[in-house]
Amino acid sequence: MVTAVIADDEPHMREMLREQLETLWPELEIIGEAEDGPTALTLIVTRRPQIAFLDIRMPGLTGLQVAHAITVPCNVVFVTAYDAHALDAFDANAVDYVLKPVDPVRLARVAAKLKKSTTDNALADMGQLAAALSRLGVPVQNAGPGPEPAHADGGATLEWLQVAVGQQIRMLHIDDVVYFESDTKYTKVVALDFEGLIRLSLKQLTEQLNADSYLQIHRGTLVNRRFIQVIHRNGEALDVEMKGRPERLKVSQPNHHLFRAM
């Protein structure tokens, strides 16, 4: 049986879409619903539906951000209230969509296509789609209801991380990270009670983090100042002990000066 989830912050829209799908595709099983982006992402990764109907504007994470973060095979259908000009961007990138309020004709067309292609897990290019929508003035990158904090140079400050932990995606606030450690093409994120991976490099992280909150103590290690507990000296070597963590982190020689006053 083909399975699907529905994500929309408006309960009546979820109900309307579910009822239309039950009429057009009785064999489709709706295995979950979400009212925000983080819940939708967790639902997709844990329940592994073959189809996800994602509202583009949702609190926490937009539908596009959820689609970017999906780590399991899933056919994405965007639910949108954008006008016909914006919809050209979807068609140009071979992305399925349905209109708000639910357009039965369009939904029937999407359902027919999905019935034939649910075993084909090729996803659309989300980067190209985001760029196309941006050119049309459609805001696709803002994850929350308000503007993100910014650096003095105008760049956005990173606030939330989507951390891959096994088959799950966990949302972690940047203040709750104990330290980051480079791990080949990924970066390991260490919190008090779990470890996981993100795709951002340490260089990308340092460009988006508050410089007053984090120290790079080694080429591959970035620590949260608020978790530094003890600096251990062993001859010429320095190690950092972090609150709530058993391991000690090596401080490279060029970074010893960071702890001269400690």
User: Model pTM?
Assistant: 0.53
Number of domains in the chain: 2
9: phi > 0 → left, psi -120 to 50 → alpha, else beta; which? alpha
Strand 179-183, strand 221-224: pairing: antiparallel
Spatial neighbors of 99 by CB under 8 A, at least 6 apart, are 79, 80, 81, 87, 106
* Confidence category of residue 186, pLDDT binned at 50, 70, 90: confident
Q: Is residue 247 part of a domain?
A: yes
Q: What's the CA gap between 98 and 58, in Å, rounded?
A: 16
Task: Verify that 215 and 121 share a domain, yes or no.
Answer: no
Residue type at 192? L
Question: How many angstroms from the chain centroid is the CA of residue 169?
Answer: 8
Residues 64 and 125 in one domain: yes
Is residue 155 domain-resident?
Answer: no
User: Domain limits at 208?
Assistant: 160-259
The answer to whether residue 216 sits within a structural domain is yes
Quote the CA–CA distance of 56 and 63 in Å, as a whole number.
Answer: 4
CA separation for the pair 206, 215 (Å, rounded): 9
Q: In this structure, what token pair is assigned to residue 192?
A: 């008090």
Query: Looking at the domain assignment, is residue 152 inside a domain?
Result: no
Question: pLDDT (tens digit, 9 = 90+) per residue, 92-131?
Answer: 555 677 877 787 888 998 898 888 876 555 455 566 566 6
- CA angle 190/191/192 to nearest 5° reads 130
Q: Within this chain, do residues 131 and 60 fall inside the same structural domain, yes or no?
A: yes
pLDDT digits (tens, 9 = 90+) for 137-178: 555 544 333 333 344 444 446 777 878 887 777 888 889 999
* Residue 68 counted as domain residue: yes
Assess whether 80 and 117 both reside in one domain: yes
CA distance 210 to 50: 39
